[in-house]
Amino acid sequence: MSGARKADRAERKALLATRAEFDRQRVMLAVHEIKAIVAPSSVADRVETARPLAAVLVSLTGPLIGANRLARWLRVASFALVAVRLARYWRDGKA
């Protein structure tokens, strides 16, 4: 194989590697843009959408199942959320 063909092949390999890296970066950018559209970026945005939804759910389920039962289920749900947070905290090795 001549030196020119080796150089051409090396150039082609370098070009393909560069194109592959460029394509990976484009995909990562697209994923980031989709995440920004689907999930709000800040906690304030999440709270802004979650509070009205929670208020509607509580106002609808309160009369249906009763105030005492709703309070009990909300208490159980809050304990479950605390348990999930603790499990994530310990799993990430922050404890």
Tens digits of per-residue pLDDT, 60-95?
Answer: 998 999 989 999 999 999 999 999 999 999 988 875
User: Residue ranges per domain, the chain?
Assistant: 1-39, 43-95
**59, 56, 82: which is closest to 70 by C-alpha?**
59
Question: Which pTM does this prediction carry?
Answer: 0.47
Query: Does the structure show a pLDDT above 90 at 18?
Result: yes
What tokens does 25 get? 């970066």
Query: What is the rounded distance in angstroms from the CA atom of residue 70 to the CA atom of residue 64?
Result: 9
Only one residue has tokens 């150039």, namely 11
CB atoms within 10 A of CB 61: 14
